[in-house]
Structure 1
Amino acid sequence: MSVEEENSGARVGDAAPGGAAPGGILGRGHRTVTLGICSLIVLSAFEALAVTTVMPTISAALNGASLYALAFAGPLATGVVGMVLAGNWCDRAGPRGSLYGSVVLFVAGLAVVGTAPAMAVFLSGRLIEGFGSGALTVALYVVVARAYPPQLHPQIFAAFAASWVVPSLVGPLVAGLIAQTLGWRWVFLGVIGLVAAALAMVIPAMARLHGPGGHPTMPWDLGRLGWSLLAACAVLALNLLADAKGPLLWTGPAAAAAIAVVALRPLLPRRTFVSGAGLPSVILSRGLAAAAFFGADVYIPYLLTVRYGFPPLAAGLSVTASGVFWATGSWLQSRLSTHLSHARSVQLGALALFLAIAAACATAALALPAAVAIAGWALGGFGMGLMYPRTGVATLEYSTVENQGFNSSALSIADSIGASMSLAATAIVFAALAGLGGPWPFAGCFALTALPALAALVLAPRIRRPHGAKAPT
């Protein structure tokens, strides 16, 4: 059966309880699992933000300047393989084993990172950590599909977004404080016990998941695993070649990007790259949004520091503002879930993101006040809050029990690949324009990342149901 045929078949909601539980996601039947999975996301978010804060200290301590960039790109690459494996596992046997296995891998990666005697060992731990984190994302999406009725999906995805707010506000500060007092290793080792406690809250709910547990007779899709490995290697090469010189500055990344696109085709629903109506456009919109936001996000604090002389703490205001408004947008879309269609929510979010990047580009090119970029990036976070939860909800609505894992992994893969390819592309543009000096490297990067935001805005109306599909009740 093709992906399109599966998308127009039985919906996840068909097997779900008929109505939302009293009290919503914190009601009696959902409180423990909600707190548990949100705690896992909080800890994962804290770790991701903490690495950025303490990485200079780690690089100096382990003499690993040459592997600095790889410590960030590596987990993104291995995460793609984890997503595909978890998706296949969930479709075969439900989300239990995939969830437990991903947490074990994540914790194992933390342990290796926290005890690493050399940079090479630290990097291996980061690769394991990324594999587990990618698999965890997919497993949590399938848990949402099985544990919550469709009426609560907008709320739980809004809670996922809100789970990033506290780490965004205090994560870098706490990580820096731990590194200065206890040592950088405890930034990672201290999270292990908290992850175990969060998992303990989720385990009881695993036994109460409604619907079939999966299809054990379904074979392991070794072909998709092979393609995911190729995509991971291509993305990793793309990031490494961003620092290439001479002819390789353009030809190397172009070849790596082409290989990544070819490898991605079997990992995504058919017609994703041509924005086919329905699920393919949902997946593509997610990847475009990730490319636009995360490609520009790393250059906002950089712009404030280099061009406006902001100290690091003040430059971080843009990150804090976008995180707070991301949660605000997520909350708003959940309140308007019955009045605002998925397509319109993505369209409004993409418009806000495009205007935010345009404000950053104008700030860099015209030397506008820094407040323009900071306020604009808050608007960009708001736009992501409108878009991200809706793409998650739409993906589950288009999914059947048989393909929840595939569709959830496709959404996560689009997210990860979109961000990593955009980061590599902006690095190339920044390096190419650095010789011109002045505002042009920043303006060039922002102009580049505005393109996927504009594409998401134009393609949003294609997020509609295929002919013959039933809307979930």
Structure 2
Amino acid sequence: MTSADQAAEPQSSVFQLFTPSLLPATLMLGGGVTLYAIESYITATVAPSIVRDIGGLPLLAWVTTLFVAAAVLGSIFVATRPRGMGLRGAYVCGALIFATGSLICAAAPVMEVVLAGRAVQGFGAGILAALAYAFVRFAYPEPLWPKASTLYAAIWGVATLLGPSAGGLFSQGSAWRYAFIIIVPLGLLMAVLSPWLLPKATDDRAHGKTPVLQICLLLVAVLFVSIAGTVEHMVTKAALIAVSVLSISLMLVTERRGNNRLLPTGAVMLAKPVARVYLIMFALLFILVSDIYIPYFLQTLHGVTPLISGYLTALVALGWTIAAFFSGSLTGRRASNAIVAGCIIEALATVFLATFLARDNQMASLAILGPAAVAMLMMGFGVGLGWAHLVTKVLRIVSSAEQDKASAAISTLQSLGGAFGAAVAGVIANSTGLVTPGGIAGSISAAHWLYAAMALPGIVTIAAALTLREGRN
């Protein structure tokens, strides 16, 4: 589609996804994303309650690590599923697997069983998340593709705001089990309804063998970098990240040299636009996940309560959601410019955090806290401004035979960006004063260097986004 064609597209709204003809698919696809998002935040909230009830503190970090790794494998399954299994069949599998994992967690007598359930649950969640993108071209006309991505962003934004609060309802005693039990009937219902409510999707994938080596290397990278995000020892953390980077590098080399690929053609060659789109996606999530340290810096440096720090941190998710709705109707050159603007805003927001969050402001002066809060909002706003258009570019660039690979890669990059970002943020913060000397001085140093360093990948996203403007990609 040319820029002139895109400019001529009629204005559309995300609410068109809820018209009678499109509502069934929207409920199913949005429902899959909702299960993934809400359960992620609820589980993070009730995890301490699980430990208090059945023990297993040394294994606590694996509750998230196994879920993330399995989710990556689930997203890959969408692209490498057995020939003859359609997208609707994959959706049924994903919903049933997610429900089964939830049931295992709910009935778990010990932490080891919870971990098994989380792995099963993560695999199902990864399938559902990847299918949300894979189904877009079958469920909606092309002008509505960005609107679908906008809806998914809104779901994650709402989950960020409501998930922890919902998790708090299940934090007492053994009530954490109900946080998993309530998912089971929803998963079963979605599995039953999906063959009737989802559109028929042609399996137009190119024939080829499953790229086992690339999948293994990717899983090693995800597992090691996820573990790195949970360990405190700096040398161990750095070594785990190094192994993860090496594993990813080997995977990319294998992709480039081999004919049996996990990713779409050109995804590992920066000369190709699809590779630059994926790079921007990865880098934006890499930067964004550094918000995990914002509550600590707010409480330590600005004297706000844990509750207020939680609400202020939620501004990041709110910014993403607002921007997604704001830019959802943009097309053609304006959509490409929105990607560039989003990358610029993201980079500037991290610079502002390095300036205003890294201050000794025990009296919570609004002259300092106010700009920091705006920077948090704009940090999410920058990602949300261009994310839907990045997704749409991927779906438009790749061939129909590689659409499932492209869709799975989006979910995989989200997980990779988040995992690598969290791990690297930990290395930066811990090595620049968070632990030694600690206290006010150490926190100021850590906050400054963390967000100053996170501005650097922001510059990379700007450079890559400029090459994606109409007529230059």
Question: How high is the TM-score relative to the length of structure 1?
Answer: 0.86
Greater shift, 440-449 or 196-205, is seen at 196-205
Match of 1:363 among 345, 356, 365: 356
Change (3 A) 1:92 1:359: farther
Match of 1:189 in 2: 181
2:309 maps to 1:315: yes
Match of 1:226 in 2: 213
Task: Give runs of aligned pairs for residues 58-137 of structure 1, distance below 5 A.
Answer: 58-89=50-81, 93-137=85-129
Does the 8 Å CA contact 1:112/1:122 hold for their aligned counterparts? yes
Match of 1:258 among 218, 240, 246: 246
Tell me the distance in 2 between the aligned counterparts of 1:52 and 1:253: 23
Match of 1:159 in 2: 151
Tell me the distance in 2 between the aligned counterparts of 1:311 and 1:260: 40
What is the identity percentage for the equivalent residue pairs of Structure 1 and Structure 2?
Answer: 23
Tell me the distance in 1 between the aligned counterparts of 2:217 and 2:173: 42
Change (3 A) 1:359 1:90: farther
Please report how far the alpha carbon of residue 110 of structure 1 lies from its aligned counterpart in structure 2 after TM superposition.
1.1
Does the 8 Å CA contact 1:85/1:225 hold for their aligned counterparts? no
Higher relative contact order (CA 8 A, sep 6+): 1
2:294 maps to 1:300: yes
Match of 2:461 among 438, 452, 456: 456
Structure 2 counterpart of 1:28, one-letter code = P
2:227 maps to 1:237: no
After superposition, the C-alpha distances for 1:199-241 in whole angstroms (9 at most, x for unaligned) are 55543233x436x3335x834x33x233222221232123324
Please report how far the alpha carbon of residue 339 of structure 1 lies from its aligned counterpart in structure 2 after TM superposition.
5.7
Match of 1:289 in 2: 284
Structure 1 counterpart of 2:398, one-letter code = S
Does the 8 Å CA contact 1:277/1:463 hold for their aligned counterparts? no
Change (3 A) 1:241 1:141: closer
Structure 2 counterpart of 1:262, one-letter code = L
Please report how far the alpha carbon of residue 22 of structure 1 lies from its aligned counterpart in structure 2 after TM superposition.
12
Tell me the SS of whatever aligns to 1:218. coil
After superposition, the C-alpha distances for 1:2-59 in whole angstroms (9 at most, x for unaligned) are xxxxxx9xxxx9xxxx999998222221012112222222222111111221111112
Does the 8 Å CA contact 1:327/1:385 hold for their aligned counterparts? yes
Does the 8 Å CA contact 1:113/1:122 hold for their aligned counterparts? yes
Please report how far the alpha carbon of residue 90 of structure 1 lies from its aligned counterpart in structure 2 after TM superposition.
8.5
Does the 8 Å CA contact 1:361/1:446 hold for their aligned counterparts? yes
After superposition, the C-alpha distances for 1:295-319 in whole angstroms (9 at most, x for unaligned) are x121111211232333222111133
Change (3 A) 1:465 1:93: farther
Tell me the distance in 2 between the aligned counterparts of 1:304 and 1:22: 35
Change (3 A) 1:105 1:308: same
Tell me the distance in 2 between the aligned counterparts of 1:65 and 1:405: 39
After superposition, the C-alpha distances for 1:122-180 in whole angstroms (9 at most, x for unaligned) are 11211222222122211121111111110111222111112223322322112211333
Greater shift, 282-291 or 450-459, is seen at 450-459
Tell me the distance in 2 between the aligned counterparts of 1:418 and 1:292: 8
Tell me the distance in 2 between the aligned counterparts of 1:322 and 1:244: 26
Change (3 A) 1:171 1:238: closer
- What RMSD, in angstroms, separates the aligned Cα atoms of the two structures? 2.9
Match of 2:346 in 1: 353
Question: How high is the TM-score relative to the length of structure 2?
Answer: 0.86
Does the 8 Å CA contact 1:326/1:384 hold for their aligned counterparts? yes
Tell me the SS of whatever aligns to 2:200. coil
Match of 1:3 in 2: none
Match of 1:5 in 2: none
Greater shift, 243-252 or 162-171, is seen at 243-252
Match of 2:33 in 1: 41
Match of 2:131 among 129, 133, 139: 139
Tell me the distance in 1 between the aligned counterparts of 2:306 and 2:14: 45
Consecutive unaligned residues in structure 1, runs of 5 or more: 1-7
2:272 maps to 1:280: no
Does the 8 Å CA contact 1:238/1:424 hold for their aligned counterparts? yes
